A = this chain, B = another copy of it.
Amino acid sequence: MMITIIIVKGTEASMRITKEKAAENRARVVAAADRLFREKGFDGVGVAELMGEAGLTHGGFYNHFASKDDLEAAACEAIFDRAVAKIEQVAATLEGEKRRLAFDDYRRRYVSKPARDATAANCPMVAFAGDVSRQSDALRETYARGLRAYLDAFARAGSQGQGGAQVRREALRRFSELVGALTLARSVAGADPDLSDEILAAASVD
């Protein structure tokens, strides 16, 4: 009796791909970067993991991006755009009382436990603040532009039309508080959950 085993080589098709399909693949890589960079930091995610997450192999990365730095800057910009759009939505809420409610709601969500635990949907300021100083110049520029745009919108969202220096200072302090609370809460979430919750709770009152 004879048993014949035929191994069919993967072949997986390394054929050329539709332009649309290629664009879709690129978008999937950016989407993976979007999630993973916020979750693990720029240096915590490799090119291979990124490509794997998008269902591709690492070799093709450079068909879409000049370097990992390049993708980092692209992802960072996209993430900031979305974050800015979100807070601008609050700033665009016209009526005084309604806007105040929307703003308070926004702030409460920001320092909530779900926000702390959803690291993949992390706020870019918190996700990247500690790392940017070690990244490329281009990324630092992108980050700084993003933060400025965000803070402007945040200050508008928190004001009631009046735009004095005092109001702006208050907004900056408020935002610093949110960032600090989320950062600290996350840093001890595993080892001292009670302290983590307490920090969040303190920042969400008022």
Contacts and interface: CB of A to CB of B under 8 A. Distances in A.
A198 interface: yes
Counting chain B CB atoms within 10 Å of each CB, the highest count among A134, A143, A147, A177 belongs to A177
A170 B205 CA distance: 10
Contact of A179 (B137, B141, B184, B202): B184
Nearest to A186: B133
Interface in A143-158: 143-145, 147-148, 151
A134 B130 CA distance: 13
Given A134-B40, A199-B172, A183 B129 contact: yes
A169 to B, nearest CB: 4
A195 interface: yes
Contact of A180 (B137, B176, B198): B176
Contacts of A133: 186-187, 189-190
A200 to B, nearest CB: 9
A98 interface: no
Given A179-B183, A184-B125, A202-B172, A191 B131 contact: no
B176 A202 contact: yes
19 contacts: A40-B134, A41-B134, A132-B187, A133-B189, A140-B188, A144-B187, A144-B188, A144-B191, A148-B188, A168-B202, A172-B199, A173-B203, A175-B180, A176-B178, A176-B199, A178-B180, A179-B179, A180-B183, A183-B183
Among all A-B residue pairs, the 7 with the closest Cβ atoms: A130-B130, A180-B180, A144-B191, A176-B180, A179-B180, A172-B202, A176-B181
